[in-house]
Amino acid sequence: MRATSLIKALPGLVVLVALVVLPYVTVTIPGILPGRVNGPGSLTLLATCFIFAGFALSYDVIFGRTGLLSFGHALFVAAGSYLLTISLSSWDLPLPLAIVVALTSTLVLALVVGGIALRVGGIAFAMVTLAFAQAASIIVLRNPGDLTGGEEGLVLDRSAIPQLLVGVHNAPYRYWLALGFVVIAWALVALLVRSRAGHAMAAVRENEARAAVLGYDVYKVKLLAIVVGALIGGLGGIVHAIVLGGSTPHLTTTEFTLALLVMVVLGGAGRLWGAVIGGFVYHYLDSRLVEFSSSSALGAMPDIVQRLLGQPLLILGVLFIIVVYFAPQGLTGLGARLLRKERA
């Protein structure tokens, strides 16, 4: 039993070790990564991809695990990010206290918004969460009392965070921070799924009425899913602010929540690797496809084709639709199916 579980965990561990030592690799992979693998450009890109993988994991707790179609997850991510930068720059709190403030506020927000929104179900739930997130987005853009920086976003107070995380040459530390975040998020979700609460969430997702009849308090189970998802998302917001040096209003928008939805479905909803791979691939393609389209290989194409290929969202949107149709289990589900076929 132990041996088989070790073998099952082996590929994941190998990938993790490879990712940990990546900042020591000095080769260049032309086309795939900008510059040297351990250059600041590549490491920041990879770190952001990890953070998005963590965001997707947090959203998957709500959508993939519990079956709640929430359009307001951006609210929690933005809360983590903005409350950290605001605590540091406007309220002059030390970093540990700022993190506590950001996470506590995210928790309270999740309890209030989740508590209210869960009074209705289905599409109405989606709409209430959308409304709350939209309200937060409007407030952030309105910039009350010069607190949120409006459309400009908010720059992180660099003197308040450890010097190890500041500056171009310290990119590897920020990379490890982001990697650490995705590992923690992964472990938390993996533990949750194996716990009693995780089983209850799966029961609610599969058949809410049956779960209620079996004696589960469906409301509490759903609220727990939202709280856990919000906390992981808020933590991701904090890491995002530290790694990218500030908060951007993009994190508050509905488009961001829709992007999370796309990531989770693309990778495979309700699967640990699905969310991770979906988040990673989405952000990677979103930031790299522009380079591909301007590369010389496409130089011979007509202008309009080049411009269309320069729109990462077009390719991601089409890919997403294809996945919804032909691989409802997502890319990881497709991969698992192919592996099984090969063995059989």
Partner 1 sequence: MSELILILATGLGLGALYFLAASGLSLIYGLMGVLNFAHSAFMMLGAYAGWETMQRLPDGMSVGVRLVLAVVVALVVGALIGAVVEVCLIRPLYKHHIQQVLVTVGLSLAAVAVAQAVWSADPKPVQKPTWMASTTDIGGAHLPNDRLLFVVVALLVFAGLMALLRYTRLGLIIRAGVENRTMVEALGINVQGTFTIVFAMGGAAAALAGVLYSQYAGSVSPAQGGSLLIYAFIVVVIGGMGSLPGTAVAAVAVGLVQQMANYYAASGVGDLSVVLLLAVVLLVRPASMKGGHA
Q: Which residues bind partner 1 (CB under 8 A)?
A: 69, 116, 119-120, 122-124, 126-128, 130-132, 134-135, 138-139, 141-142, 254-255, 258, 261-262, 265, 304, 307-308, 310-314, 316-318, 320-321, 324-325, 328
- Whether residue 189 contacts residue 61, with contact meaning beta carbons closer than 8 Å, is answered with yes
106-117: b (≥16 Cβ within 10 Å) or e: bbebbeebbeeb
Which residue number, 93 or 263, has a Cβ lying nearer to partner 1?
Answer: 263
Q: Which tokens is 1 given? A: 């039993």
Q: Which amino acid would we find at residue 294?
A: S
Nearer to partner 1, 23 or 153 (CB): 153
Minimum CB distance to partner 1 smaller for 142 or for 194? 142
Residue 267's SS3 state is helix
Q: How far apart are the first and last CA of the chain?
A: 22
Helix (H, G, I), strand (E, B) or coil at 246: strand
DSSP 27-65: -B-TTTSSSBTTSHHHHHHHHHHHHHHHHHHHHHIIIII
- Mark 46-71 as b/e (b = at least 16 C-beta within 10 Å): bbbbbbbbbbbbbbbbbbbbbbbebb
Our CB check for partner 1 shows the closer of 24 and 326 to be 326
Q: Which of 57, 44, 85 is nearest to 233 (CA)?
A: 57
| Exposure class string for 230-263: b at 16+ Cβ within 10 A, else e | bbbbbbbbbbbbbbbbbbbbebbbeebbebbbbb
In the bound state with partner 1, the residue whose beta carbon lies nearer, of 31 and 328, is 328
Could you tell me if 20 and 175 are in contact, meaning their C-beta atoms sit under 8 angstroms apart? Answer: no
Please give the Cα distance from 282 to 234 (Å, whole number).
Answer: 20
Nearer to partner 1, 58 or 257 (CB): 257
| CB of 143 vs partner 1, minimal distance in Å | 10
Closer residue to partner 1 (CB): 303 or 342: 303
CB of 131 to partner 1, least distance (A): 5
- Rounded to a whole number of angstroms, the minimum distance from the CB of residue 309 to partner 1 is 8
**Residue 321 CB, nearest approach to partner 1 (Å):** 4
Nearest distance from C-beta of residue 190 to partner 1, angstroms: 25
Q: Measured from the CB of residue 317, what is the shortest distance to partner 1 in angstroms?
A: 3
Distance of closest approach, residue 256 Cβ to partner 1, in angstroms: 12
Nearer to partner 1, 11 or 122 (CB): 122
- 195 versus 311: smaller Cβ distance to partner 1: 311
SS3 270: coil
Q: How far is the CB of 308 from partner 1 (least distance, A)?
A: 5
Beta pairing class for 246-247 and 154-155: antiparallel
Question: Which amino acid is residue 15, in one-letter code?
Answer: V
| Closest approach of partner 1 to the CB of residue 133, in Å | 9
Please state at what angle helix 218-244 crosses helix 40-60, rounded to 10 degrees. Answer: 170
Query: 278 with 331: CB under 8 angstroms?
Result: yes
